[in-house]
Amino acid sequence: MTDGPLIVQSDKTLLLEVDHPRSREARHAIAPFAELERSPEHVHTYRLTPLGLWNARAAGHDAEQVIDALVRYSRYAVPHALLVDVTDTMDRYGRLRLVNDPAHGLVLASLDRAVLTEVVRSKKVAPMLGERLDDDTIVIHPSERGRLKQALLKLGWPAEDLAGYVDGEAHAIGLREEGWSLRDYQREAVENFFSGGSGAVVLPCGAGKTIVGAAAMARAGATTLILVTNTVSGRQWRSELLRRTTLTEEEIGEYSGERKEIRPVTIATYQIMATRRKGEYTHLDLFGARDWGLIVYDEVHLLPAPVFRMTADIQSRRRLGLTATLVREDGREGDVFSLIGPKRYDAPWKDIESQGYIAPADCTEVRVTLTDAERMEYATAEPEDRYRVGATARTKKAVVRRLVERHGSDRVLVIGAYLEQIDELGEMLDCPVIQGSTRNAERERLYEAFRSGEITTLVVSKVANFSIDLPEAAVAIQVSGTFGSRQEEAQRLGRVLRPKVDGRPAHFYTVVSRDTLDQDYAAHRQRFLAEQGYAYTIIDADEVLESG
């Protein structure tokens, strides 16, 4: 027995004592392979999963490193069966490999004949297989490359894809480095991506994912398709590319609901790609519109199912996924692993913060007590309406007003999910509201007014969760969310993490109705940020209302 901060249990859960002096060190060591499940005040629960271990393996971590971290930080002896299981699970990655055979093209090659025999017998896998060349090699049609990887992952035998990529249509892209240069972690992310060929780069909001994308484009030197969450995000990508690279306006096209331009670098929205007419996805042909050398998926954790399906057909193209979190609320992390590629680079948020590239953040949960009338409305609401009733309680309004007043000299974002609630808050605070129906031109005008200081407070719906560059925002006040979405929590905190000129911290408030689903969902949303090392202080609304 040692005085370690970690208790490793035979059911593959890891209990981390938060207040232990070595807890941060231990969290950093287990982050590449363990997923946080629960994060109450004193003990955080992580879990070892096959996908987490395979992602670690693909990123260059071996079983020996994982076992060393578990043993080094564990308070008690680590169960031997668990150590064996970690080794066996990680050893499953790469026993099957997709490679290019000079004579036969794409083949599935096995380092373990019994494994190949096992998967060949699968009814899902068999139809994707071609001629068997020998005991260890089977021809695969190139169009089945992605679907085969999905099927093998589900069977527990993730294939290592070593089949390489087509270069695509060459298009010279240089980086302008006047007045700036790639940060070490950005350079490392690009190197790791190219050494693996395709995959995901995980960086905090505000850490320069767009710059990583631009550097990857310059390294590829090829036509590039960039997929983004919305038109405003796409235009921010465009302006960053014009500022950071040698690309001209004529070389960058926008493919959205408003424009249909296909150019050497084309920026398209997920929304347009997932649009159906008469049951057909009419815009997915964009994937084949040019001989793309690189496809960039911004906010890859939001990738819609139709784009997944099309991505399965373009496995010979290099694919770069950019995200702050690989958590998907639909549980399709395995599809990101199979179709975009495994995690190639992951920088812990606190590491980037310690280097001064993102602002430190104070996270506070403010709990309000509902009035008797609100409690009764909540108690009598239908189950499907309870979260909305709790999250939109009018009692929150006074707390929001007071928090905005407290930070009168800062730029403040008030963020909610329910339109009636955000309209009321905009009226109360006498400030503009941005929601889904706000036209793109108006959104861009308001964002620019916020950046310049003409407007100091904005009330925004979930349209501002993603890829909006508001470096001056220092305070976020969250009043309601998409139930318990961890990815949303990460994105919302990310809105205020750009470093401040004077070095002051960012503030992230979540206003929560006590004893309701609102409180339960808030606890779930906070899991991801707790994994990144952020601690939430919980205070009562009275402390806010009575503060001077």
Mean pLDDT of the 416-444 span: 90
Residue 497 has pLDDT above 70, yes or no: yes
How do beta strands 473-478 and 506-513 pair? parallel
Contact criterion met (CB below 8 Å) for 390 and 513: yes
Instruction: Enter the CATH code of domain 359-545.
Output: 3.40.50.300
Give mean pLDDT, residues 55-66: 90
Task: Give the pLDDT of residue 457.
Answer: 92
pLDDT digits (tens, 9 = 90+) for 78-103: 999 999 999 999 999 999 999 999 98
Residue 332 CB coordination number (10 Å):
15
CB 231 within 8 A of CB 261: no
Round the average pLDDT of the chain to a whole number and report it.
88
- Retrieve residue 86's tokens: 């970690």
pTM: 0.81
* Residue scoring higher pLDDT (533 or 72): 72
pLDDT 10s digits, 515-528: 999 888 888 777 76
Domain boundaries, the chain: 6-92, 96-161, 184-352, 359-545
Per CATH, the number for 184-352 is 3.40.50.300
Q: How far apart are CA 56 and CA 532, in angstroms?
A: 17
Please check whether residue 135 is in contact with residue 113, taking contact to mean a CB–CB distance below 8 angstroms.
yes
What is the per-residue pLDDT across 314-341, written as a single tens digit (0 to 9) for each?
A: 888 999 999 887 777 677 888 888 889 9
Statement: residue 303 has pLDDT above 90: no
Question: Residue 135, exposed/middle/buried by CB under 10 A (0-12, 13-18, 19+)?
Answer: exposed
Mean pLDDT computed over 229-240: 88
Three-class DSSP labels, 291-353: CCCEEEEECHHHCCHHHHHHHCCCCCCEEEEEECCCCCCCCCHHHHHHHHCCEEEECCHHHHH
User: What pLDDT was estimated at residue 294?
Assistant: 95
Among the residue ranges 255-259, 366-370, 386-390, the one predicted with the least confidence is: 255-259
| 10 C-beta neighbours (distance < 10 Å), count | 11
- Confidence (pLDDT) at 204: 83
In the numeric block, which tokens belong to residue 470? 């508001």
Q: What does the alpha-carbon distance between residue 206 and residue 152 come to, in Å, rounded to a whole number?
A: 35
